[in-house]
Structure 1
C-alpha cells in the first residue's frame, strides 16, 4: 500500500472508531433500525439510529397516514419495551435522563432531559419522514461522561434499551412532566439485540 493511501486508510479507521459505543475501548456501533408500532400492534414505519461524534441521528420513515395529521411530541424513554401496546406503552417507563435537578423541555432553563426531542409533523396524506439529532445520547451500552466540548450522553443500548415514543399532541417544550404531549400513540423499541 502506498504511504498516502495508508495514511488515508488509517485516518478513515480512526474516524470510524470515534463513533464507538461509549468506552475508550469500544468499537464502532452500526446503525440500528426498529419498527414503529401503534397501540393496536400495527407497524407504521421505522426508526433508524446512527452514532455521530457528539450524539445520535434519528431518522424516521412512515407509511401513508401512519399518524393523525398535525404535530406530535417525540421523546426517548428509559426502557426499550413496546410490548404492552394495548396498555399505552407504559412498560417503556419515563423519559430518558429524568433527574431531580433536570426538568423536561428543550425551552426549559432547567432542562432538557436527555430524552427530549423536537416535535414531529405528520401530513394529512402520503408517506413522510423526518430526521432529529439527539446531542445527549450515544448509540452504545455505556454512558459517555461530559467533556469540555460535549455534554454527558446517556446510553441508548444499556441493559434495558430505550424506546422512541410518539405522543398524541405536540410538546410545548416547557411544562412538566411531558409538555402536555398527551397519550403515547406509537413506539419503537431499541434494544441490545439486533
Structure 2
C-alpha cells in the first residue's frame, strides 16, 4: 500500500472486478455508482451493508452523519438514500474524493459534503455533534483507538450517537468508553463489524 493510500478506507483485494457500489434500498434503490480504481480500496460488501442498515433502521432517518475513511462511499450513499439528514465524507485519496463528488452530482444529492482530508487530523479539531459515525479505516494500521479518543474529546458525538466500526477480525476487542454500549456485533469472513450506542454521560 502506498503512502497516499494508508488512510483510505474499505481495503479492496487486488483481484477486484466490480467497479461500482450498489445502493440496496431507499430513494436510489438499485442504483450503481462507479468506484475509482484506487489501490487499497474495498467497498463494504452488500451483505454486510444490508445487515448494518437493518440494525440502523430506526436511527438513520434525519440523522446527521460522519463517514471516516469514506473510500467508495457505499455506506454514505446508502445512508443518504435511506433518509439521512446530511453526511460529511472524509477521504484522503484525491481521486477517490473526486469520484465521490461526481457520484453525489449523479444522484442529485445536495445534503452531503466531501472533504479530501486526513480523518485523524480532521477529528483533532473541535467538531459539531453527529448522530451516526461510520468508522472503517484501513486494516492493520492501529487507528481505531485514536479515533475513539478524538470523537469523545472534541465534541463529535451527540448524547445518544450510534457508532459503526468495521475492522479486521484478528484485531479482537476494541476498548471503548464506559458509556458506549455494544448494540450489535457480527463477523463476515475476515471482517468484524460492530455497532455501538453512546449513552448520555
> Which gives a bigger RCO, structure 1 or 2 (Cα 8 Å, sep 6+)?
1
The TM-score with structure 1 as length reference comes to 0.24
Select the structure that is richer in helix.
2
The TM-score with structure 2 as length reference comes to 0.24
**Higher Rg of the two aligned structures:** 1
